[in-house]
Every structure is written in structure tokens, then in C-alpha cells.
Amino acid sequence: MTLHKEELAIHNSPLHRNDVVNRLAKLLMLTKAVRLPLHILDKFKFDLGLPTNYITFLLSDYPDYFQICEHKNPSDGKETLFLELISWKNELAISEMEKRASFSDGVKLKKGLPLRFSMKLPNGFDLEKKVKNWVDTWQDLPYISPYENSFHLGPNSDQAEKWTVAVLHELLWLLVSKKTEGKNVFCLGEYLGFGNRFKKALMHFPGIFYVSNKIRTQTVVLKEAYRKDFLMEKHPLMGMRFRYIHLMNKSEKFRKRDGVPVFRRKRKVMSNADEGEVIKEDDKSVEEIEDLNLLSGLGSNDGFDDEPSKAQAQASWYYPLNNIRSHIGDDRVTKCKSFVYYCQKSYKN
């Protein structure tokens, strides 16, 4: 109950409420019509840091920002409920990349500058000279804000791909965990009109994004947001979620009873990367990040079942999961021990 009260205190704090409202407004501003179907928005509410009942708990206090409206869904033509931003917010139409550049220079950023994305490549991922030259040329292309509509660009052009990467980068940066499930990213990409361009961007730029298939869940992660196994930008909700996991593992008898394995991994070091610089990581870093569900693990599978085994169902730590389901996400809870492993690593602060 104490943790629940502390979490409610976070959601009720003016600082957090303003922060999450701005995150939500910026997400809507990534769309052409500044609105999203509620069923798509619900996929991101956990990662955005929204409360479970965000419509009544939060949005009702911001009638000048948001409204619920009904429109035809472009995919099937059926009437669907949308969350719409009432008016465009110029002060929010600044991406994280632009904010960094403005902060470092101390002057207002000019549009069209060649902002470079931070890239970190694992050891063994050697780029051929011609590929490295292409990446350098690509990095030097003008940076187009994700809050601009650039669908007029040829979809197969390098400039369009850099804009696609900018949209993906900004989307992940808006999330408190700086990561989300791949199906959420692709669902949003389809709605925005990117088609398979999000998938291509993830495949072409492993130095910017991780794509992991651990615990039978494809996860897309913004690579620069992590150092070692820690989030660089700590958020109160991330610390709170880790405390829920710590509560589940609090007693040694819970972890050892009925032969349920304890998931502990030794932390190793991941190297840093300067802005726009390509950095290689040693083998230990690659192993560590793969263990943390952060690095590309295409084709890998931990063999976890969606339903609990008999031993898991009898274990004393399994039942408390239902009591905190609303706080740590229903989808993750159903994965039982794999969820414990997932969170105790990536939510650590």
C-alpha cells in the first residue's frame, strides 16, 4: 500500500502532470492531424508514464489541450474515438536532437543543419569503407524535424530515411523507458503512413536502435539512452517500477521455494559514444546488453512460456503479481518470471 500511495503521489504531483501532458501533446504532434485513435494511444500509455485511467484522471483537467472526438479510422473506415490536440504548440515542436544542438551552441537552432545521430556499434560489426563513407554522408544530410511533414520526399531517398530515423528517435525519447514493444512502433508507423519504413530504419541503423527478441517479445530501444544497464535520464516512475520488482524478490525464500530459479546476471561495462560518433563495444558489452534485452537478438528465444508452469503457479511469488498488475503492465505480468528478469535489469536506477 505504501508503494501504491507513493506512485499516486507521483501521478498527482504538478511537475509530473505537466511533464506527461507535454509528452502526450508531443506524441500527438508527430501525427499529421494531431490526433491518435485511443486504441493506439493505449499501447503507449504505460511507456509514456500515463496513469491507467488517464482520460478521467488527467485529461479532464486539461480541456484547453485535449479533446475526445469521433472520426473514421483510415484503416477500416469505421467510426473510432480519437484523442486530439486542440491547438498546435509551437513551444513543444522542438525535438530532443534540436534541443541538444541549441543548448550546446547557446543560440537558436537554424533549420536544415546536418545534426548527427549518436551511433554505437558492437565489436565485430565492422563497416566496409564504402558503407562507412555512406554513413558519414548520410549523417551530414540536413536534419528535418520530426514535427514537420516531409512525406513529399521520395520514400527511398536518403533524406527521407534520415527524417524517418528522426521520427523514431523522437518517439522513443518521449517514452520514460526509452523503449517499447516493436508491435507498438509498427502499429503507429502504419497509422502515420510510414508503411515498412520504420522496419527498414531499424535494420539499417543498429548503431542507433536496439531490436531485441528476448522473452518472445520484440523490443525497440533507443541505444544512446542507456549506459551500462542504466537509463541515462532517470524518471521517478522507473524507480517506482523497480521497487515493485524488488518487492516481489524481497524474501529469499520466495526466490528459492519450489525450485524457481533466481535471475541474476553480472553487470559488465558498455562504452560511451560522443554525439554522432561511431563507437565499437567490446565482446563483454555485447553479451551484457543482450542479457539486458537491449541489443539486437534476432532469432534468439529464451524459451519462456506465456502461461506459468506448475512450479511457477505453486511458487509464492507468483500470486502477488495479480495485486500489482495495474502498476507494472498487464502484458509483462503474464510473462511471469521473464517479466521479473526484464524489469530488474532495465528498470534499475
* DSSP string for 60-122: GG-TTTEEEEEEE-TTT--EEEEEEESS--GGG---HHHHHHHHHHTSPPPTT------EEEE
Q: Edge-to-edge strands of the sheet including 66-72?
A: 35-37, 79-85, 66-72
Residue 276 or residue 90, greater confidence = 90
What's the distance, Cα to Cα, between the start and end of the chain in Å?
22
User: Are residue 70 and residue 112 in the same domain, yes or no?
Assistant: no
257 and 250 in contact (C-beta within 8 Å)? no
59 secondary structure, DSSP code: G
What angle, rounded to 10 degrees, do the helices at 158-174 and 197-204 form?
90
User: Are residue 240 and residue 132 in the same domain, yes or no?
Assistant: no
User: Are residue 136 and residue 187 in the same domain, yes or no?
Assistant: yes
**Residue 304's pLDDT is what?**
29
The per-residue pLDDT for range 106-161, each reduced to its tens digit, is 566 778 889 999 998 877 777 788 888 999 999 999 999 999 999 999 999 999 99
User: Are residue 232 and residue 317 in the same domain, yes or no?
Assistant: yes
Q: Is 214 left (phi over 0), alpha (psi -120 to 50) or beta?
A: beta
For residue 170, the enclosing domain spans 94-210
The per-residue pLDDT for range 230-288, each reduced to its tens digit, is 888 888 888 877 787 777 777 555 555 555 555 554 444 444 444 454 444 443 433 33
65 and 85 in contact (C-beta within 8 Å)? yes
User: Are residue 76 and residue 133 in the same domain, yes or no?
Assistant: no
Asked whether residue 215 is domain-assigned, the answer is no
Q: Is the pLDDT of residue 347 over 90?
A: no
**Residue 144's pLDDT is what?**
96
**Residue 276's pLDDT is what?**
52
181 and 192 in contact (C-beta within 8 Å)? no
Residue 151 or residue 12, greater confidence = 151
- Confidence tier at 187 by pLDDT (50, 70, 90): very high
Residue 324 or residue 191, greater confidence = 191
User: Are residue 292 and residue 336 in the same domain, yes or no?
Assistant: yes
Number of domains in the chain: 3
Residue-by-residue DSSP string for 159-222 = HHHHHHHHHHHHHHHHSTTSEEEHHHHHHHHHHHT-TTHHHHHHHH-TTTEEEE-GGG--EEEE
Q: CA 12 to CA 6: how far, in whole Å?
A: 10
97 Cβ partners below 8 Å, 6+ apart?
Answer: 115, 117, 143, 166, 169, 170
Computed over every residue of the chain, the mean pLDDT equals 76
User: Are residue 21 and residue 66 in the same domain, yes or no?
Assistant: yes
Asked whether residue 2 is domain-assigned, the answer is no
Domain end call among 27, 59, 90: 90
Asked whether residue 239 is domain-assigned, the answer is yes
59 Cβ partners below 8 Å, 6+ apart?
Answer: 65, 66, 68, 83
**Residue 160's pLDDT is what?**
97
242 and 348 in contact (C-beta within 8 Å)? yes
Asked whether residue 5 is domain-assigned, the answer is no
Q: CA 181 to CA 250: how far, in whole Å?
A: 28
The model's pTM is: 0.72
Domain end call among 176, 210, 244: 210
User: Are residue 230 and residue 337 in the same domain, yes or no?
Assistant: yes
**Residue 1's pLDDT is what?**
66
Query: Of 100-104, 204-208, 296-300, 324-328, which gets the smallest average pLDDT?
Result: 296-300
Chain mean position to CA 142: 25
* H or E element, residue 21: helix 14-29
Quick one: cell of 177?
523507458
Residue 124 or residue 100, greater confidence = 100
User: Are residue 179 and residue 239 in the same domain, yes or no?
Assistant: no
Q: CA 112 to CA 243: how far, in whole Å?
A: 43
Asked whether residue 337 is domain-assigned, the answer is yes
Domain end call among 177, 210, 243: 210
Residue 340 or residue 287, greater confidence = 340
Quick one: cell of 340?
521479473
User: Are residue 118 and residue 74 in the same domain, yes or no?
Assistant: no
User: Are residue 86 and residue 103 in the same domain, yes or no?
Assistant: no
Asked whether residue 107 is domain-assigned, the answer is yes
Percent of the chain at pLDDT > 70 equals: 70
Q: CA 142 to CA 128: how far, in whole Å?
A: 24
Asked whether residue 6 is domain-assigned, the answer is no
Asked whether residue 64 is domain-assigned, the answer is yes
**Residue 255's pLDDT is what?**
56
User: Are residue 144 and residue 61 in the same domain, yes or no?
Assistant: no
Residue 192 or residue 341, greater confidence = 192
Q: CA 262 to CA 253: how far, in whole Å?
A: 11
